[in-house]
Amino acid sequence: MTTARTKNPAGPDGRRPLLRVLRDRDAGLCLAGVVVSGFGTSALWLAAGVWVKDLTGSDGLAALCMLAVWAPTLVGPVLGTVADRVRRRPLLIGTSLLMACLLCALFAVDSREGLWLLFAVLLVYGAAGVVHDAAESALVAAAVDPGLLGDFNGLRMTANEGMKLVAPLAGAGLYAAWGGPSVALLDAATFVLAAGVYAALRVREAPPRRPTTSWRRRTAEGARHLWGHPGLRPLVLAGGVTMLCAGVNGATVYAVVDALGHSPAYAGALYAVQGAGSVLVGLLAGAAVRRLGGRRFAAAGVALFAVAVAVRAAPYDAVALVSSAAIGAGLPAVLIAALTAVQRETPGPLLGRVTATANSLVFAPNVLGLAAGAALVELTGLGLLLPVVGAVLLATATALAAARRPAGRGTPSPA
């Protein structure tokens, strides 16, 4: 569907690939779109839960906000098919403008009786996000030189983590001053800006092929490609296990804070340090992928994550801070490696479905991990739970490092 350019990833002098990503017009615009839309999304995610809590006083209903956004990930392969049926750039523009209009409906939410509208918007928000991510991944694969995809995805991780450090504060400030609708308006404005950024791209896209098979068969193509590809399957499976363990680890954060003898607010410091680790690894990811290869880079990151989770059970401030930074640095490695491999190893007409399927397999387990961790931390305590999670992660890293890619493989024909 799309036309990718091929250049020397390091440039004429063989250096500064990060600068090449930033200086490349289309790559820079893609990154700007990620930053702008990510800022609004991060602000809304925090404000939505607080909004529901204020209207109802219910922690359970507030938690449903995140569930509503994440639920569409479970049908990612179906939603990803949409991204392969139309040109990706117009789809991104249309999706962004649709969400900008839909968010304005939240101005009508001013009581408990209006919560159905908030949850409905969040559910559509999550579904649009799945389609958006699939289309964006395919468009990036066309706009960015293949050799620079690792650098781009690393910078994308850095940008996303940076937004998570800044945007929630902005969202909380807006909410405190003018209420939930003001945060919805902010998010709507970022979607409009993102649509303008995507409109400025100069990526050439061929018309999508006319489908010759049923919707169900086309949807299944993404899963078949992932499972049949000896390079992608280990990375995606390792990503799913890693995110499952990340969910369990995330559910223990307040127990860790309690073991340290601090108030719950101390969790903010741990999250900030973790975010700093993710920002750093994002800057280094492209060079690491080129030097180590995606699989070994991912395995090293999962191993670092494993050690950090295991030692987090020790009730010392220094250990907690260092392990949080290590978690932030180790966790994104497999995500960056998997996304880069999907973009490099998937034919353009299949890329939307494969990306959405991979995202479902990688991120859906995180929700299960959060639920399991919330139950297990009460039953077992940190001293047993975190070392066990670390052991599972270490086994995952070992299996990923030992995986071998066969010399030859067949690529399925896209529908």
Q: Do domains 1-207 and 215-403 have the same CATH topology?
A: yes
Q: Helices 232-251 and 253-260 sit at what angle, rounded to 10 degrees?
A: 50
62, pLDDT greater than 80: no
Are 345 and 119 within 8 A, CB to CB? no
175 or 321: whose pLDDT is higher? 321
CATH for 1-207 (3.40.30.10, 3.30.420.40, 3.40.1260.10, 1.20.1250.20) = 1.20.1250.20
Instruction: Tell me the two tokens of residue 380.
Output: 């077992």
Instruction: Give every CB contact of residue 131 below 8 A, 6+ residues apart in sequence.
Output: 79, 80, 82, 83, 91, 95, 356
- Residue 404's pLDDT band (boundaries 50, 70, 90)? low
Backbone angles phi, psi at 2, to 5 degrees: -115, 160
- Residue 13's pLDDT band (boundaries 50, 70, 90)? very low
Q: What pLDDT, on a 0 to 100 scale, did the predictor assign at position 331? A: 93
Alpha carbons within 13 angstroms on the beta-carbon side of residue 152 total 33
Strand partners, 357: none
Are 188 and 180 within 8 A, CB to CB? no
Highest mean pLDDT, choosing among 13-27, 52-66, 140-154, 159-173: 140-154
Instruction: Give every CB contact of residue 262 below 8 A, 6+ residues apart in sequence.
Output: none
Q: What pLDDT, on a 0 to 100 scale, did the predictor assign at position 14? A: 40
Least Cα distance to 182 among 192, 169, 195, 173 occurs for: 173
Are 235 and 349 within 8 A, CB to CB? no
405, pLDDT greater than 70: no
- Residue 309's pLDDT band (boundaries 50, 70, 90)? very high
User: C-alpha dihedral over 313, 318, 324, 327, to 10 degrees?
Assistant: -80
Q: What pLDDT, on a 0 to 100 scale, did the predictor assign at position 69? A: 84
- pTM of this structure: 0.78
Distance CA 110, CA 260 (A): 40
Are 252 and 384 within 8 A, CB to CB? no
> Rg for the chain (alpha carbons), in Å?
21
| Other Cβ atoms closer than 10 A to 282 | 25
19 or 8: whose pLDDT is higher? 19
Domain boundaries, the chain: 1-207, 215-403
Cα angle, residue 108 at apex, residues 104 and 109 outer, rounded to 5°: 105
Mean pLDDT in the chain? 84
Averaged over 239-248, what is the pLDDT?
Answer: 94
326's enclosing H/E stretch is helix 317-345
3-state secondary structure of 211: coil
407, pLDDT greater than 60: no
Backbone angles phi, psi at 335, to 5 degrees: -70, -45
Q: What pLDDT, on a 0 to 100 scale, did the predictor assign at position 82? A: 85
- Residue 168's pLDDT band (boundaries 50, 70, 90)? confident
Distance CA 33, CA 135 (A): 13
Window from 11-15, 72-76, 138-142 with minimum mean pLDDT: 11-15
Distance CA 220, CA 81 (A): 9
- Residue 6's pLDDT band (boundaries 50, 70, 90)? very low
- Residue 2's pLDDT band (boundaries 50, 70, 90)? very low
Q: If phi over 0 gives left and psi between -120 and 50 gives alpha, with beta otherwise, what is residue 346?
A: beta
Write down the CATH number for the domain with range 215-403: 1.20.1250.20
Q: What pLDDT, on a 0 to 100 scale, did the predictor assign at position 399? A: 94
